[in-house]
Amino acid sequence: MSPGGGGGGGGGRGEPLCGQHREALKLFCTRDLQPLCVVCARARGHSVVPIEEAAEQYKAEILSCLRAGKEEREKYLESRKAEGRRSPYLVGAPIGSLNAPPLLF
């Protein structure tokens, strides 16, 4: 069930192979979150989808998370800009004349 490399049957196009059966890993178990060959999937009763389908689902999920992170970052940077415009500590005060505690980061 573990991916193996190299020669043997099952594809021949450089596809990852099952270490136990030397078959191409064409399925993905949605419970174990592991790629499987057809033999492993049948033998153990896994809940499977085609590996390409699982890859597309994960790709969409990752892109969604990246977009959300980018939006959060943009909001944060905008809030920092707005704080900078309002803060008397950052506008027109010479460095060293501020009575603010030192930053600890």
DSSP per-residue letters across 9-65: SS-SSS--EETTT--B--EEETTTTEEE-HHHHHHHT--EEEHHHHHHHHHHHHHHH
Backbone angles phi, psi at 2, to 5 degrees: -80, 150
CB 48 within 8 A of CB 36: yes
Q: Is the pLDDT of residue 18 over 70?
A: yes
pLDDT at 27 over 70: yes
Closest CA to 25 of 43, 8, 54, 3: 3
The CATH code belonging to domain 3-84 is 3.30.160.60
Q: What is the dihedral of CA 47, 33, 71, 75, to 10 degrees?
A: 120
- Residue 1 confidence (pLDDT): 45
pTM for the model stands at 0.57
- Quote the pLDDT of residue 21: 92
Q: Which helix (H) or strand (E) holds 4?
A: strand 3-4
Mean per-residue pLDDT for 19-47? 90
Q: pLDDT tens digits for 43-97? A: 777 899 999 999 999 999 999 999 999 999 999 998 888 877 655 554 555 555 5
Q: What is the pLDDT of residue 6?
A: 44
**CA angle 94–98–103, rounded 5-degree value:** 115
